[in-house]
Amino acid sequence: MIIVMQPDAGDAAIAAVEAKIRSYGLDVHISRGSERTLIGAVGDERKLDPAMFDPMPGVEMSMHVVKPYKLVAREWHKANTVVNAGGVPIGGPTVQVIAGPCSVETPAQMEAAAAGVAAAGARLMRGGAFKPRTSPYAFQGKGVDGLRLLKDAAAGQRLPVVTELMDVRMLDRFIEHGVDVIQIGTRNMQNFDLLKAVGQVTTPVILKRGMSATVSEWLMAAEYIAAGGNHNIIFCERGIRTFETAYRNVLDVTAIPVLKKETHLPVIVDPSHAGGKAWMVPALSLAAVAAGADGLLIEIHPSPKDAWCDADQALTPAEFKALMGQIKAVAAAVGRDT
Amino acid sequence: MIIVMQPDAGDAAIAAVEAKIRSYGLDVHISRGSERTLIGAVGDERKLDPAMFDPMPGVEMSMHVVKPYKLVAREWHKANTVVNAGGVPIGGPTVQVIAGPCSVETPAQMEAAAAGVAAAGARLMRGGAFKPRTSPYAFQGKGVDGLRLLKDAAAGQRLPVVTELMDVRMLDRFIEHGVDVIQIGTRNMQNFDLLKAVGQVTTPVILKRGMSATVSEWLMAAEYIAAGGNHNIIFCERGIRTFETAYRNVLDVTAIPVLKKETHLPVIVDPSHAGGKAWMVPALSLAAVAAGADGLLIEIHPSPKDAWCDADQALTPAEFKALMGQIKAVAAAVGRDT
Amino acid sequence: MIIVMQPDAGDAAIAAVEAKIRSYGLDVHISRGSERTLIGAVGDERKLDPAMFDPMPGVEMSMHVVKPYKLVAREWHKANTVVNAGGVPIGGPTVQVIAGPCSVETPAQMEAAAAGVAAAGARLMRGGAFKPRTSPYAFQGKGVDGLRLLKDAAAGQRLPVVTELMDVRMLDRFIEHGVDVIQIGTRNMQNFDLLKAVGQVTTPVILKRGMSATVSEWLMAAEYIAAGGNHNIIFCERGIRTFETAYRNVLDVTAIPVLKKETHLPVIVDPSHAGGKAWMVPALSLAAVAAGADGLLIEIHPSPKDAWCDADQALTPAEFKALMGQIKAVAAAVGRDT
Amino acid sequence: MIIVMQPDAGDAAIAAVEAKIRSYGLDVHISRGSERTLIGAVGDERKLDPAMFDPMPGVEMSMHVVKPYKLVAREWHKANTVVNAGGVPIGGPTVQVIAGPCSVETPAQMEAAAAGVAAAGARLMRGGAFKPRTSPYAFQGKGVDGLRLLKDAAAGQRLPVVTELMDVRMLDRFIEHGVDVIQIGTRNMQNFDLLKAVGQVTTPVILKRGMSATVSEWLMAAEYIAAGGNHNIIFCERGIRTFETAYRNVLDVTAIPVLKKETHLPVIVDPSHAGGKAWMVPALSLAAVAAGADGLLIEIHPSPKDAWCDADQALTPAEFKALMGQIKAVAAAVGRDT
């Protein structure tokens, strides 16, 4: 931690900062410049916080030098972590594609979707049983029945399943129903009690980025899960909120190389929610793979225009199959397979 | 709902849209312009969603005409709602100030804080027993013991209490401990299961705005609570996330008159989290009152530099008392008392 | 400047950074911590830039400690600067209000507007002769004729005038026509050649904030003008661009106290462009004054619904007069007059 | 244009809106719904603006149905436009790469840079002679001498040149010195007088996106150039400003397919300014090509750490050559050559 003193800070102010640092067991290093004095705290600075120093007399600002995350940081774990998602490795040389409908609707819809996923060569299936909807009057998902329908349809194609957990009270039911990968949605990225709860199980977790979360906050949210003991974490970029109104979100491809540098954990991308329109999905999928994503999470539906939610962003099985061919080509161009 | 067709949309595409609207029991009104055909859906358009039409052939875009919220909308409830917060009216002619520390720490700290709140003339006390922290390694709050300390200290000054609920599993404990007002924090504004749960009780709820939530999403989050039966909702603007890095958040004062126009429910402001620095709190407090806020939520601490969290944003009791004098003057200038 | 080295940076990397700093005539101070080595550059760090160090081997990041602005900084000029705007002092104890139409239209419109400005007690008049319009097909302003109409109408009420300069080639004409205050618009805040040009004259300049400019960039834009020799600069906050779509911009009231702390120059607010709707102007005006603004820039029109631009944000003369009464009351509450 | 009336709007209000529309020569179509009346203006709605209707009594809101741009719109010009940039086609099947240093420094630096550009197989050269710098104390470019150095170095490798025009008074000098492509920078995207000036020449223009410009505003800025007669316009996405602080800008890849759908003009990407760090450039370049970009604008320098500006984002010639190989592979994967 570095504390920058105001130009007119006197010796008493400097001594007070020094004493505070030492009271936490760290050493102090003082550098007196022509305009400012800098005070460095030497030791485990995670014990300190800028808010401890900023209100002290004579302090202009203070900042961490070391990153606040540890378990998820590549600095302390150089090799890529490969997460075992129901038998499918995520984070290795293969770009993995997870596909399926926005919401679980009917057995027929789920069977057709599962067939489309498998036929295109994707290896995991998604489907929402509990849906976070902006309006309380919109369809809220099939609930536990949806978990069963999802699991049954996927089993028919030997696909592990991914589905979103919103309510901490449902975690046991997710485990009972054999959910292979738990998704934490964008609105719950900082629902800390939920993060702590999934930190207590061993099921892999896809942690979607909050719609205006910084990369640092996102890594810290993952640190919550890891601190509980569950290191099977997969980051999922799904677009961020900006001033632009021509599309729902802005897919932040820059986050992909930045995360791959900062963490050893896998990073996947959801191109469907990012753009919000089916016709944007191919371009965004290919951009994500070219930028280094370890996987994709794509919405498909046997008949998109009849979907019960997000109808305008789902691909048909045929469109998805065509896209899988393009994904394979771009993946090969960057040295990966699918 | 209006559906705008593409310039080259043929009769079949128009007929399909028409049929879809009628299948939901609404009437159809078609307007053929020189470049585009517009299709209006006449009736209860809350049954419809743009995503139902956007993927249909020939559709360029579709949009709601009527606002998606109803119970919280001033359109359907013209008079201001005054919420009874433990005996203190919020939303009437008096600007109410809620004050207290970021987190409950010790009995002595809480008693000194309560005395400071009362001495300055504020009528409700806040204090965090469960703290949403970015880092899992930071102090997470005293928990249920904190509820007891808060309630005891406030009782000594006959102040109702406000405290944040993060975990739906703790709601019963909040009720048992006589929490007068439940606060839903910015990170949980779209934690829909939590919103549904507080919709089932009668305790007033302060609903903080998500850090990048639109006014429309915020109103819909309140609609979740209201739809459950709890209409005792108070909106709290606390600053939004922007590109600016010179301060933590940007206090969105424009949201105050906009909300007052859109909803009959009270609107208060948290100037402490908005700016993130104690020295900004007076200017932001006065701006909020001048813009029409029904109340303020201000952090104070007997000794800010020793606070266990957000030390750089708390006022001392003396600073708070001085500010209360200024608030009274500005409130009077806009025709309100304190 | 502080340079933070990577954990594995060796002696050669540290020596190279040290040599680079010394080559610019600054001293070096090295602090070896448990995880990182920090290198401080001691001396006039404005000669250095983080981009000089960030690409060097072993460097993790580098940052300025001292602010990059000097002439406009309060650190070097403690007292408030009062700008003489055609005889009207801006930045002193009086809150000054500048009012007038979006664009100069006709002699009759301008005379009625000037009468409305004066009748309400405002002391400067605004009016656009050159209009920055998003569309090339929209009305672009009356040009030089507009300058004459503005000046004539204002003279009839003995009001100095404020008008926007877009094209550096028109500066001489602005001087010839006796423009009292030159406005630099939001889209030109970083039009550096324009800033340099107005730095060469003595006419006061209102520098509007770029729609997504940070406070630091804004101060640096003013530094461009001051570096040319013109210190008669007035900052004007006019709302920033965010994710919110319910209103055109978000008025950033936090910028007011922050600027007043960072600079000795006056700060005014444009509530008309901030909200974009006439009905929002009173609340935003009062909030700005309560937060410490030195003045306001308000759009009025004799008949708003017939205005040639921004018709939905202009107040009528009667509405403006009523608002001036409220402004006077809030100004008095914060110890200022109008 | 659609005008949505308030629920309680009476016949007089509706008649007034109808009269206003007819006064501009358009027809009117009225649709009376259960909650709202909608009024459609049928005809050339570019004559109308929402601000004309929003302030009228009884109007809730109004909006355009047709896009405000025409000359640049694909709706009116289906085929891709291929711009001839000094003999190099941009917008055709080949992905074109423009490379060179941030700023023109010395003859030796420029010759080495030109050799690096050509050796890697790129076909145009960039270099800044006039530099937009945040600080007035930073290097502002070599000026006209820089144009000559750029042109000479590029001529040695038979490369056309791209360079930024900031000041409208320098346009003639750009033409005299044979600048092949004029770049309009992000801070000048809405410098309308500059746009009008480059609309009067035939030199191709690269129009960079404003750092917080919407796609619609960007298209309208291009419409300014096209309206003057110059249709040789190339859009350049260079990253947008968001809340994220871990990197300088967020490269908006979604804008690529959206622009390709909305306009017939070419779209290129500047991955160097987007990320702000050399190590991010490969991932962003490949993502841009995968998403459909027609070209790239990449900063290289013979010795990045000695560069006079943006030293941390330039690639070495060797890094650039390696990247060109990867670009070729990804381009081939999406059916294009380089």
pLDDT 10s digits, B61-113: 888 887 889 999 998 899 999 999 999 999 999 999 999 999 999 999 999 99
pLDDT at D154 (0 to 100): 98
User: CA C191, CA D132: separation in Å to the nearest integer?
Assistant: 8
Encode pLDDT of A101-140 as tens digits.
Answer: 999 999 999 999 999 999 999 999 999 999 999 889 888 9
Encode pLDDT of B260-300 as tens digits.
Answer: 999 999 999 999 999 899 999 999 999 999 999 999 999 99
Chain D residues with CB under 8 Å of B75 CB are 7
pLDDT at D7 (0 to 100): 84
pLDDT at B77 (0 to 100): 93
Comparison of pLDDT for A77 and A46, the residue scoring more: A77
User: CA C50, CA C56: separation in Å to the nearest integer?
Assistant: 11
pLDDT at B216 (0 to 100): 96
Average pLDDT over chain B reads 95
pLDDT at B280 (0 to 100): 97
Average pLDDT over chain D reads 95
Question: Does C8 have pLDDT greater than 90?
Answer: no
Going by pLDDT thresholds of 50, 70 and 90, the confidence category of residue C326 is: very high
Mean of the pLDDT values across residues D218-233?
97
pLDDT at B221 (0 to 100): 98
Q: Does B241 touch chain D (CB under 8 A)?
A: yes
Task: For residue B194, give the H/E element and its range.
Answer: helix B192-198
Which candidate from A55, A132, A212 shows the least CB-CB separation from B211?
A: A212
What DSSP line would sit under A234-253, residue for residue?
Answer: EEEE--B--S--SSS-B-BT
Gap from D15 CA to chain A (nearest CA, Å): 33
User: CA D143, CA D163: separation in Å to the nearest integer?
Assistant: 11
User: CA C75, CA A56: separation in Å to the nearest integer?
Assistant: 19
Q: Does D31 touch chain B (CB under 8 A)?
A: yes
Chain C residues with CB under 8 Å of D223 CB are 135-136
Q: What angle do CA A47, A51, A53 make, to 5 degrees?
A: 85
Question: Does A33 have pLDDT greater than 80?
Answer: no
* C-beta of residue D5 within 8 angstroms of C-beta of residue B3: no
Going by pLDDT thresholds of 50, 70 and 90, the confidence category of residue D148 is: very high
Q: Residue length, chain D? A: 338
Encode pLDDT of A196-214 as tens digits.
Answer: 999 999 999 999 999 999 9
Going by pLDDT thresholds of 50, 70 and 90, the confidence category of residue B305 is: confident
Q: Does A73 touch chain D (CB under 8 A)?
A: no
Q: Does D286 touch chain A (CB under 8 A)?
A: yes
Task: For residue A327, give the H/E element and its range.
Answer: helix A317-333
Going by pLDDT thresholds of 50, 70 and 90, the confidence category of residue B310 is: confident
From the centroid of its chain, how far is CA D266?
Answer: 9
Question: Does C68 have pLDDT greater than 90?
Answer: no
Which candidate from D167, D193, D313 shows the least CB-CB separation from C166?
A: D193
Q: Return the CATH class of domain C2-63.
A: alpha beta
User: CA B161, CA D161: separation in Å to the nearest integer?
Assistant: 68
Going by pLDDT thresholds of 50, 70 and 90, the confidence category of residue D64 is: confident
Residue A242, token pair as written in the block: 């900006």
Domain C2-63 and domain C74-333, same fold? Reply is: no
Comparison of pLDDT for A200 and B7, the residue scoring more: A200
Mean of the pLDDT values across residues A48-64?
87
Q: Does B65 touch chain D (CB under 8 A)?
A: yes
User: From the candidates C131, C167, C214, which should be mutated to test the interface with D, based on the most D CB atoms within 10 A?
Assistant: C167
User: From the candidates D20, D173, D190, D223, which should be mutated to test the interface with C, based on the most C CB atoms within 10 A?
Assistant: D190
pLDDT at C35 (0 to 100): 74
Encode pLDDT of C269-279 as tens digits.
Answer: 999 999 899 99
Chain D residues with CB under 8 Å of A244 CB are 214-215, 240, 252, 255
User: CA C54, CA D305: separation in Å to the nearest integer?
Assistant: 9
pLDDT at D8 (0 to 100): 86
Helix, strand, coil percentages in chain A from 3-state DSSP, rounded to 5: 40, 20, 40
Going by pLDDT thresholds of 50, 70 and 90, the confidence category of residue D67 is: confident
Mean of the pLDDT values across residues B152-163?
98
Q: Map out the domains of chain B as residue ranges.
A: 2-63, 74-333
Question: Does D37 have pLDDT greater than 90?
Answer: no
* C-beta of residue D21 within 8 angstroms of C-beta of residue D28: yes
Give Cα separations from D291 to A248, A322, C131, D82 (angstroms): 17, 16, 37, 18
Which candidate from A2, A4, A212 shows the least CB-CB separation from C38?
A: A2
Question: Which chains contact D through at least 3 pairs of Cβ atoms less than 8 Å apart?
Answer: A, B, C
Encode pLDDT of B162-193 as tens digits.
Answer: 999 999 999 999 999 999 999 999 999 999 99
Question: Does C37 have pLDDT greater than 90?
Answer: no
Average pLDDT over chain C reads 95
Going by pLDDT thresholds of 50, 70 and 90, the confidence category of residue A67 is: confident
Gap from D224 CA to chain C (nearest CA, Å): 5
Question: Does C73 have pLDDT greater than 80?
Answer: yes
pLDDT at D306 (0 to 100): 87
Mean of the pLDDT values across residues A244-258?
96
User: CA A320, CA A120: separation in Å to the nearest integer?
Assistant: 7
* C-beta of residue C89 within 8 angstroms of C-beta of residue C83: yes
Task: Evaluate the CA torsion angle D123, D127, D129, D132 in order and state its sign.
Answer: positive
Going by pLDDT thresholds of 50, 70 and 90, the confidence category of residue A273 is: very high
Going by pLDDT thresholds of 50, 70 and 90, the confidence category of residue C227 is: very high
Q: List Cβ neighbours of C114 (8 Å cut-off, separation of 6 or more).
A: C100, C125, C153, C154, C156, C157, C159
Chain C residues with CB under 8 Å of B274 CB are 254
DSSP state of A161: E
* Residue B291 to residue C292, Cβ atoms within 8 A: no
Q: Does A258 touch chain C (CB under 8 A)?
A: no
Q: Does B34 touch chain D (CB under 8 A)?
A: yes
Comparison of pLDDT for D67 and A263, the residue scoring more: A263
ipTM of the complex: 0.94
Residue B226, token pair as written in the block: 């209201």
Q: Does B261 touch chain A (CB under 8 A)?
A: no
* Residue C34 to residue A40, Cβ atoms within 8 A: no
* Residue C250 to residue B254, Cβ atoms within 8 A: yes
Q: Of A152-166, B41-55, D313-327, which range is least confident? A: B41-55
pLDDT at B138 (0 to 100): 86
Question: Does D250 have pLDDT greater than 90?
Answer: yes
Encode pLDDT of C129-142 as tens digits.
Answer: 999 998 898 889 99
Average pLDDT over chain A reads 95
Residue B329, token pair as written in the block: 């003057």
Rounded percentage of chain D residues whose pLDDT exceeds 70? 100
Mean of the pLDDT values across residues D219-247?
97
Whether domain D74-333 has CATH 3.10.180.10: the reply is no
Rounded percentage of chain A residues whose pLDDT exceeds 70? 100
